Amino acid sequence: MTGAERDAAVRHWLLAALPDGERTAAADDWKTRGVTVLPCGTLYSAVRLPADIVAEAAGSTDRAAIDRYLAVSLDGPVFCTGERGLYVALVPPSTARTWSLSGVSFLGRGSVVTVPAPGLTRDLSPGAYWAVPMESPGVLCLAEDVANVATRGLRRGGCRA
């Protein structure tokens, strides 16, 4: 599968979280704005990690180094919101039953998240981008791995989870 084919498959899968009548508008948002708002809690949920916590966990403030750290540590899709200073890891919706880590936000059913267009990388966007692109539709981060990164960052930063 080529990168363009993967991005198309991921785009289609992410948009499946929306009702049929809203998918075209969301796809148009990706084309015009580079981001779109998608609901959490059905196909995926999300964990928002403040950039300072992620930088502490990675031991670096360099975005390229942080992206590499997240790719190895989470082995699943993560995007950076850009100017808002958040990293968002996509996790299974079932994570809601077990998530209990303070210091980071869990977004499940009833929440929305602003998602960059599949294929939008740090090199292509000054704003939101995929720090760790989604490799295949439905392949998500393990909640335990996300909690481990958050806990490591909180401990290194002098905070307690």
Task: Flag whether 67 is in a domain.
Answer: yes
Q: What is the reported pLDDT for 103?
A: 78
Task: Flag whether 139 is in a domain.
Answer: yes
Can you give the pTM of this predicted structure? Answer: 0.92
Q: What is the reported pLDDT for 73?
A: 97
Query: Do residues 129 and 121 make contact, with C-beta atoms less than 8 angstroms apart?
Result: yes
Which domain, by its residues, includes 58?
Answer: 3-156
Q: Which residues pair with 112 in a beta bridge?
A: 39
Locus of tokens 């289609």: 12
Task: Flag whether 161 is in a domain.
Answer: no
Task: Flag whether 72 is in a domain.
Answer: yes
- How many structural domains is the chain composed of? 1
Q: What is the reported pLDDT for 84?
A: 67
Beta-carbon contacts of 146 under 8 Å, excluding residues fewer than 6 positions away, are: 47, 49, 74, 89, 91
Q: Which pLDDT band holds residue 102 (cuts at 50, 70, 90)?
A: confident
Task: Flag whether 56 is in a domain.
Answer: yes
- Reply yes or no on whether the pLDDT at 161 is more than 80: no
Residues in the chain: 161
Q: What is the reported pLDDT for 159?
A: 54
Span 59-98, pLDDT tens digits = 999 999 999 999 999 989 999 987 768 999 999 999 988 8
Task: Flag whether 109 is in a domain.
Answer: yes
Strands, E, within 51-121: which ranges? 78-80, 86-91, 105-107, 112-116
Task: Flag whether 143 is in a domain.
Answer: yes
